[in-house]
Amino acid sequence: MKIQAQGVNIMNRRKKQLSAVIVLICAALCAALMFSGCPDPNQGGGSGGEGEGEGEGEGEGGGQQGSVDNTSNLISFAEQYTQATISIDPPGGSAPNGTPVTITLTPNSGLEPGTFGVFRSGTNSQVDHTHAEFSYTYKFTMPAYPVVIRMSFISIYEAIKNASDKITSQNSWEDIDFLNQMIRKAQPLSLVDPTGIAIQNAIKKLAGDRNNSSVPLSDTVEYLGIVEYKIRNEDLYEKEWITPNTKPPSYKIDKVPATIDTTTPGSITLRRTHLYYVEEDNPNPTVEPKKGWVASTPGTPAGLTILYGIKEYPLTYTIGTGTSVTTGSSLSINPIIKYNIWLYPCAQYTLEYEQKADPIATENSGVNLKQFAMNAGTSPRPGTGSESSGTVGGSGNQDLYGSTDALKNKTGDVGILFPDSSTDRQLYVAVSTTNQNIAIRVTTGDGTPVRGIDGSSLDSIVNSPSPAYPAARFYPESRHYIIKVRPKTEPVPITP
C-alpha cells in the first residue's frame, strides 16, 4: 500500500510538470502570433515565394485569378495543301482568343488561289475574315475556339481572266501590278489556256487597243489602256508621285493632250504631264514612280534651253514580259508604255484687292501679265534688241481679273540667267493695265516690294494704253508674287 501510494504521487507530479510545459508552449505560440500577425486570407498558399500573375494559391506565389483566358486555340487546315507555300502569323499553329492572324499564300507555278474560308472546327460555321482582292493575304481575329481553313486553287489563266474583268483605272497601282505580275508569270508557261485568250485580253486592257481601226482615236481608256489613261488623269500631288510633297501652286498639273495622228493608227506623239511647282515651296522635288513604273535618269527637254530648271523624267511600264502579242484580229499590241513627267519650276501670280477695291468685272479692265523671251542667248537686254512675247511655255498673255481662284491665279515661266549676269534672265514679265481707276503694285509672297529690271520699285503701276515696252518689267524667279490692286484715289474718311 505504501509503494502504491508513492507511485500515485509520482504520476501526479509528472502530470503537473507536463501541464506546466504545455502552458509554456501555448504562451510562446501566443507571443509569436502577436509579433507576426495573422496570415492574409487573400495571399496565395503553397510553398511559393514571389509568383508571376494572379492565381488561386496553386503553385508558385499564386494570386487572385484573372478574367482573361490566354489559352491558345488550334489553327488547322482541312487538308494537306501542296498547291502553295503557306505562311501563318503568329507562327506555331495556334493563337489565343482575340489575336490577329495573317495567312499569306505563295501559289505554285500555274496556280492561283480560288476560294478561302475560315470555319469553326467540326462545323460549317464561318469566321469572318478580310482579303484585299488583288493580294495573297488573308486576315481574321482568332475566336475562343479552334478553327479550320479550307481553300481551293484555280488555273492562273482563269485567275488572269477574273482579275482582268474586274480591274479598272480606279484601282491602285498595286492592284494593277498584281494583275501584271500574273501575266508575267503565265507567259513563259507551256500550259493549256482553257480560256484561249486570257493573256491577250489582259494585255490589251492594260495597254490599249490603238492598232484596232474599230476603236475610235481618242483619249479614252479603251484606246489608251488602263496604264496610260490612269497616269494621264491622276493627281500626282494627291497620289504622292512627287517628293517632298509640299503645297502646289494654283495650277498644279497641266495635262498635255495626246496628239493623235489620224493618218497612222496607234500613233500618239505626246505622252507627258507637266507638273508645275514653286521652287520657293519645294526647292528640289523628284519623281517617285508608283508600283510597276521605272524611271530613267532625268534630263532637260529639248528645245527649252532658255527656261530655268525643267527636268524631264522618262518613265516606262512593261506589261508582262514586254513581248508583243496579237489579238484575235491579228493586230499587234505593244506592251511597253512610255510616259514623261516634266517637273516645271514656275512663278505664281495671285491677284489681291486692297482698300476695298471692287473686283474687276471684265478681262479688258483687269491686270495684264505679258511674258517676253529673248531671242539671243547672251544679249541684248530687254527693250534694247530682239524680243518675242507669248511664245515660251504657252503662257504669254495672261489676264488677272474677277474674284474666282481660276481668274485670280496664274503661273508663268522662269528664264535662265544670262551667262554674264547674276540677276538678268532671258525672260521677263511686263505688268500693265488699261483701267483708268486702279493702281497696281507688285510684291513677293511675304510682302517685299519687287524691283523692276531698271531697279525701280513696282509699287505704283498706273494705266498703260500701249504696253509694248511698259516700265513695269521684272525678271521672275520661281516664287510667289502678289499683284495688288487698289483704287487710284485714296478712300475718303468717313466724317462723324
Domain coordinates of the chain in residue numbers? 72-154, 167-345, 347-487
Fold of 72-154: Immunoglobulin-like (2.60.40)
pLDDT for the residue numbered 272: 84
The CA distances from residue 20 to 6, 29, 34, 382, 438, in Å, are 22, 14, 21, 127, 122
Alpha carbons 107 and 105: distance in angstroms, whole number: 6
Alpha carbons 43 and 181: distance in angstroms, whole number: 62
| Closest alpha carbon to 218 in 266, 171, 263 | 266
pLDDT for the residue numbered 269: 60
Which single residue is written with the C-alpha cell 506623239? Answer: 269
| Closest alpha carbon to 189 in 246, 110, 125 | 110
Amino acid at 95: A
Question: Is 292:317 a contact under the CB 8 Å cutoff?
Answer: yes
The CA distances from residue 297 to 144, 300, 344, 365, 454, in Å, are 55, 10, 16, 46, 40
pLDDT for the residue numbered 399: 56
pLDDT for the residue numbered 191: 84
Alpha carbons 21 and 323: distance in angstroms, whole number: 107
Alpha carbons 75 and 377: distance in angstroms, whole number: 74
Q: Residue 79 is placed in which grid cell?
A: 487538308
> Which residues share a beta bridge with 443?
449, 482
pLDDT for the residue numbered 120: 97
Question: Is 337:316 a contact under the CB 8 Å cutoff?
Answer: yes
pLDDT for the residue numbered 486: 80
The CA distances from residue 209 to 157, 173, 219, 331, in Å, are 21, 20, 12, 9
The CA distances from residue 77 to 147, 219, 397, in Å, are 8, 49, 71
Neighbour count for residue 280 (Cβ, 10 Å): 18
DSSP class of 461: B
State in Å, rounded, how far the first CA of the chain is from the last one: 143
Cα atoms found within 13 Å of the Cα of residue 310, Cβ hemisphere only:
27
pLDDT for the residue numbered 143: 97
Instruction: Annotate 57-76 with b (16+ C-beta within 10 A) or e (fewer).
Output: beeebbeeeeeeeeeebebe
pTM score: 0.73
Distance from the Cα of residue 450 to its chain's centroid: 37
Question: Is 308:346 a contact under the CB 8 Å cutoff?
Answer: no
Going residue by residue through the chain, which has 496 residues, state the pLDDT in tens, using 9 for 90 and above: 333 334 434 344 444 454 554 544 445 444 444 444 444 433 333 333 333 333 333 333 333 344 445 689 999 999 999 999 999 999 999 999 999 999 999 999 999 999 999 999 999 999 999 999 999 999 999 999 999 999 999 999 999 999 999 999 999 999 999 999 999 999 999 888 877 789 999 999 999 887 666 766 777 898 889 999 999 888 888 888 888 877 666 556 666 655 555 555 555 566 888 888 899 988 888 999 999 999 999 998 887 778 899 999 999 999 999 988 776 555 678 899 999 998 989 898 888 877 666 655 444 456 777 787 765 444 445 544 444 444 333 444 555 555 566 666 778 889 888 877 888 888 888 887 777 777 888 999 999 999 988 888 888 776 554 444 455 789 999 999 998 888 776 655 556 5
pLDDT for the residue numbered 426: 82
> Which residues share a beta bridge with 374?
387
Phi-psi region of 394 (alpha: psi -120 to 50; beta: other; left: phi over 0): left
Instruction: Tell me the three state secondary structure of residue 150.
Output: strand
